[in-house]
Structure 1
Amino acid sequence: MRAVGTGVSAARVRVVHGMSPEVGVVVRVVRSGQVDVGVLLRALRDRGLNYDPAEVRRPAWTFDVHRHELGREAVGPPVEGGLWWRARSLVAGYEFSPPEIVRAYYEPGSQLPGRDMLLQARLPGLRFLMGVRVTGVRDETSAERTTWGWGYQTLEGHLERGRVDYALVKHHATGRVEFVARSHSQLHPRAPWWMRWGWRWFGRRVQLRFYRRAGQRLHRLVHDPVAVAPTTLERAVGWGVSVPDPVT
């Protein structure tokens, strides 16, 4: 199993059930040190999307486009070993994700199309563990630009509903390389009251900070000639709690 930006020791999952005020909504709370991410990741295989794409429309859904210029290389198609290709390998591995906000787990041998990923959204003392699936890979070349990227959609149990597409674009005429993130999303309508309250106060700010930091991180990684392994080091947090599948 590949963990982007973190190391986790496997342990049995001890689950404590808590009932939210909404009838029938059960929230599982787990001590962070007792989460077996492998079990949670494999459980995603049989899950479907948690929304119907036909539902997506304004104003109930939020639409975002974030662009980050990574730099320039020689004009024309991507140069082998150049900026675009270096960035592509990072985008393919989700290495642009700021680990202080979101970390991801997936099977390292899995093909990108159809790949299940367990995302760990991180707040102080609290971790949300939620599943997504890569449902599209984009690989296009025209006279004007070369575009490569992929997108995922949220699975049952996710706190949000929606889709995110990441693309790496090389503009042939200028040599400019940019990283583009497009998304449509909404908080799950069945999210319990305390999640809705938290989302109203800081969820959107964290969401925007993720996209801003993702662009900054990719820019730094693609220009940094020195490799560091591991890229991050996480201390075990015994007092924190995790919430697998926030909306069930």
Structure 2
Amino acid sequence: MYSFSDAEQKELKDVLMTEEQEESSDEENSSESSDELDSLDDSLFLDKAYTDLRQKLGSRPKQLIDLWNKEEQVVNVRDYLVPQSLAPILESLFEKYGDVGAETNLSPRVKMYLIVILCGTIDSMCCTRILDITEDKLLNWWQYSTALESAGFKIQFVHDQRTRVTEAYFGLRLRKLEDDTLQELEIDITKYDAEVKEMTTKLERITDRHKRITSEKYGKRSSLIKDCLRMAAKLKWKKAGAGLIKLS
């Protein structure tokens, strides 16, 4: 749908490079937050898990989602050429927020392309239930919206919604992580409890035997056992053949 000159391609690349820098900054902030949480009590299980999830927002999605059909017919909306399916999104944006890209210093074609990305991102968010959000899709939304913000688009409303959606996504992930972890721990507790009971039974059996043998050692013995023990004490330092023959 769009073909760019070398200058326009560089302009788009610069926007993405700015995004990478902001992502790096996010990683540093997340790292600092992680260090703070690491120093807290181990009971803050979900806080640590939240930080681990939050750090992933500094990474790139494994695969960029297609925000529109590249073969789709384009239409003119307020001097912007956009895919027909995204035209209602752009009309709604103009009605509620005006031209969010009006204050950017981008060339017209680059700005038009980024407006399409904005509409595609919003459309993707509007068509996705919180329950159905994947990590890759969330990263796509962050990457696209961060790029637009860094390029000068006035989309604080997208930023705010993205934050709320991310918190809800994290909430679902953290709840599942908590439930799964508790289930795993309950399985381990059952397993080790059975092992402890088995070892306790063995210990009791060994202890009882030890007590019984100790009692016999210092208690009453049969005459046969007494004779064997007395003979052992008497002969243990002598040769087994002592007295059998007379050696010269």
Larger strand fraction of residues: 1
Q: TM-score, normalised by structure 1?
A: 0.24
Larger helix fraction of residues: 2
User: Relative CO higher for 1 or 2, CA cutoff 8 Å, sep ≥ 6?
Assistant: 1
Q: TM-score, normalised by structure 2?
A: 0.24
